[in-house]
Structure 1
């Protein structure tokens, strides 16, 4: 009997020891399974960031480097641009050959329809006084190439290429926003001075595209319309400067930024012609051309038109 009890006691001890080993083996296996999935989220986040950077810009021209400066170039000329050339403005413009423009920066990669933009990367100039020239050609070979000269590109964050007037007498000019400015700056006045245009030539050839307004001289000599600024622009499109000094008119129009376009027209008269563009980001934008300045507006969903800029 004593031997039988000893044998039973020995079996119980072996069973307890075996059960204890099983628990020690299971514990590290459980910890290893829990530690495995913590590595995977880092890979997913990195991939998402790369995708966002790649899809951020399109229509890129120039050499994109870590130290390059960049500027957005917007096409508002009314026609599709097929080629863009950019060079530093020469010190002696009279002795410069206009054929020395280098390569086309677009080089068939894309075209810029009216309202579209490209992003230009370029090496930051060594001097603050350096300016640039832009030359464009259109996809329509029947249209003449256009030149935009002596532009302070390094101070700009966006430049818009535009045309004043219509047809063969139209004048290429640009408006631009600086990094710190809140209003667009126009080069139209400087372009006209470079071309040697007088005030009369500007009114007759470039800023008066409406053929019905030019042959109407009957109301211009009317002395009763001069004292009333709300009537003079409507009847004096042929020579608005006779009744509206340029600086006073622009200053008065600037006071209507943020207000209704109808209120501005009631104060200074109607523009010579209007143009509207539908933009994906900002909605409907209006451009109202007076003889010596331009008014930009935005139109909301209810049709309310608000003045946003004067240049």
Structure 2
């Protein structure tokens, strides 16, 4: 059927794998007498404006730039001849209780109102749930931008997506390495029992366990839970962030290589914005799940206990639920010392 194709159109993609894939597609198209046209439309900003070492300076520049408005196309694309795509039937269908694919579903979510001030509270529906649709192109960044232009905090999150994508584009070594290369020499503990307990949601820290169980079951958790669970793996269990990055890649329905990498390196203090960040898991769950609604949804062992008990499980045992796998304060201080020792040497 190749003789029936005049032109191949794609949106430019930015990961090393995507760049090589598109290069091969272009070469194949040209060998077969076809045009290959690639357009910058995956992000709000052009890759040519990226010269920043941190998000704040990037955001302060790009937020002043005009984003090209979406255009309405009223006509219909003609089809010369049908092309067999039977191989698509062999693809594994991704099942999720939270998401349905396709443009019509993406547009429904785009029309939906959400209270973004509640985005950190997992028991509340304060997130847009647009990330899978943006990743797979069922809705565009530009139409999302103009639909939600009055929601400043949400728009700022869209620019975080741009920032991490372009950071990885210009620094492709971040896939597999720390952005701050001195941390490549950090000797992680990488306790496999700790890692498995984290993956399966049985660390004895309710908010961590609830987050991981929800991720495993649905393919999605909000940004706050991604930070809490990632922090716990890296800064408490002292497991290499790349292990967590890869695990999230196998579970997240909105998996984006650059964004996932950027988020993990931010939490791990190995990225562009170095700061040894610490999340107290007990305070996090008390602040963002005060009634323990989300925890009870996913940690059935705790459903019969009041929030006052769940938020202080470090003081007592609960039948059927594991005790905290480690003392988080002691572990954080140990990990902090490892980071600071390495910084002194480097």
Q: TM-score, normalised by structure 1?
A: 0.30
Larger Cα-atom Rg = 1
Task: Please state which structure has a larger fraction of its residues in strand.
Answer: 1
Normalising by structure 2, report the TM-score: 0.28
Q: Which has the higher helix share?
A: 2
